[in-house]
């Protein structure tokens, strides 16, 4: 079955033909829990999901990779045993998944959940994945892998401001996004001859989905939460995980692009100290969270949005009410 477990998803962005009918605007609204990294999305989602038969669909572009566990803050095996999760551990570290590819599989997973009498709940911080699900993207033709790798080596040599400059020249509408999106825009424009924004524009006639958002963000304490998480990852064995991965995963594998892993590799190679690695990973994660906050502040459109602080009891109660209303309306 072509679902987000990876069994029916073609490699390198090739189209997926679902054997479950795609979701349309006639279907119930989708519940999406999103927000910056370390905000508490997963914990809140798990608490809500225990109240109703639920399937959590991970919208995290790094948790898809097998073996990259601690540094991507994947839900634990115990948590996944409590509530079914899909979209985690579905790709090899060397595979590249496009937002369209993930969204196609996610739509199938939602249909499968509903067919099984479960409520699908999308949870994650990868904004372009979520937008690809809500406002469908056109599939990009398969890209030549050899040319892609050669281009990636060149892109690796560019500073962020140079990446943005190239993106501005090749696909100006994408230049306001972040480094990952700049690289993708450059890649698609150069290897297909058509800007990524043009490919996306071709999807305007595809059915959009109705959605209600729960944005999780503790505010100022997020910076400290990130620092605490980085230390917690190290205590949980992140360094050992990186050592294992370095012996098995090619240096150019896309999975290494997850925040913090490059710095961790540098530490394990003796290029930086442990304290330097901790500081750099913390700073990089805070910068990533800042970009996520900007995305979720400006990119959610006109859909209903409830913003909550997971540390405030009153906000948790509001989130519970949001979930109860959604479940009642979508039965």
For 277-314, write each residue's pLDDT tens digit. Answer: 999 999 999 999 999 999 999 989 889 999 999 999 99
Q: What are the pLDDT digits (tens) for 148-198?
A: 889 989 999 999 999 999 999 999 999 988 888 899 999 999 998 889 888
Verify that 214 and 259 share a domain, yes or no. Answer: yes
Q: What is the CATH number of the domain that holds 177?
A: 1.10.20
pLDDT at residue 20, rounded to an integer: 33
Verify that 249 and 287 share a domain, yes or no. Answer: yes
Q: Give residues with Cβ within 8 angstroms of 235, minimum separation 6.
A: none
Verify that 176 and 258 share a domain, yes or no. Answer: no
Q: Predicted confidence band at 99 (pLDDT cuts at 50, 70, 90)?
A: confident
CA 106 and chain centroid, separation: 12
pLDDT > 90? residue 25: no
Strand partners for 213: 32, 305
Verify that 221 and 319 share a domain, yes or no. Answer: yes
pLDDT at residue 19, rounded to an integer: 32
| Nearest partner of 9 among 99, 101, 87, judged by Cα | 101
Verify that 13 and 55 share a domain, yes or no. Answer: yes
pLDDT at residue 26, rounded to an integer: 55
Verify that 93 and 157 share a domain, yes or no. Answer: no
CA distances in angstroms from 176 to 97, 134, 186, 206, 296, listed in the order given: 22, 20, 13, 25, 14
Verify that 315 and 187 share a domain, yes or no. Answer: no
Verify that 129 and 258 share a domain, yes or no. Answer: yes
Verify that 113 and 34 share a domain, yes or no. Answer: yes
pLDDT > 50? residue 32: yes
Which of 202, 223, 239 is the last residue in one of the domains? Answer: 202
Q: What is the mean pLDDT of residues 126-141?
A: 83
Q: What share of the chain is helix, strand, coil (3-state, %, to 5)?
A: 50, 10, 40
Q: Give residues with Cβ within 8 angstroms of 282, minimum separation 6.
A: 226, 227, 230
pLDDT at residue 197, rounded to an integer: 86
Q: How many domains does the chain have?
A: 2
Which structural domain range is residue 158 located in? Answer: 141-202
């Amino acid at each position: 079955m072509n679902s987000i477990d990876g069994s029916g998803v073609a490699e390198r962005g090739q189209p997926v033909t679902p054997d479950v009918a795609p979701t349309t605007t006639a279907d119930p609204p989708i519940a999406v829990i999103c927000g910056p990294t370390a905000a508490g999305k997963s914990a809140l989602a798990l608490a809500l999901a225990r109240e109703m038969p639920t399937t959590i669909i991970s919208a995290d572009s790094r948790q898809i990779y097998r073996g990259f566990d601690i540094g991507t803050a994947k839900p634990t095996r115990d948590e996944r045993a409590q509530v079914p999760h899909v979209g985690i551990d579905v790709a090899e570290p060397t595979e590249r998944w496009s937002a369209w590819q993930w969204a196609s599989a996610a739509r199938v997973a939602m249909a499968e959940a509903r067919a099984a009498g479960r409520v699908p709940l999308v949870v994650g911080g990868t904004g372009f994945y979520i937008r690809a699900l809500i406002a469908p993207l056109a599939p990009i033709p398969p890209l030549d892998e050899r040319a892609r790798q050669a281009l990636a080596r060149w892109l690796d040599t560019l500073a962020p401001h140079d990446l943005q400059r190239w993106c501005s020249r090749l696909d100006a509408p994408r230049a306001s996004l972040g480094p990952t999106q700049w690289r993708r825009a450059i890649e698609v424009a150069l290897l297909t001859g058509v800007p990524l924004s043009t490919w996306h524009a071709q999807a305007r006639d595809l059915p959009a989905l109705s959605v209600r958002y729960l944005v999780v963000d503790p505010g100022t304490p997020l910076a400290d939460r990130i620092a605490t998480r980085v230390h917690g990852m190290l205590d949980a064995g992140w360094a050992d995980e990186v050592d294992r991965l370095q012996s098995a995963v090619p240096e150019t594998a896309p999975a290494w692009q997850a925040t913090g892993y490059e710095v961790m590799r540098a530490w394990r190679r003796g290029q930086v100290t442990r304290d330097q690695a901790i500081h750099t990973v913390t700073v990089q994660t805070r910068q990533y969270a800042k970009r996520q906050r900007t995305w979720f502040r400006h990119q959610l459109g006109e859909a209903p949005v409830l913003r909550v602080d997971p540390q405030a009891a009153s906000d948790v109660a509001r989130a519970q009410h949001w979930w109860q209303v959604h479940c009642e309306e979508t039965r």
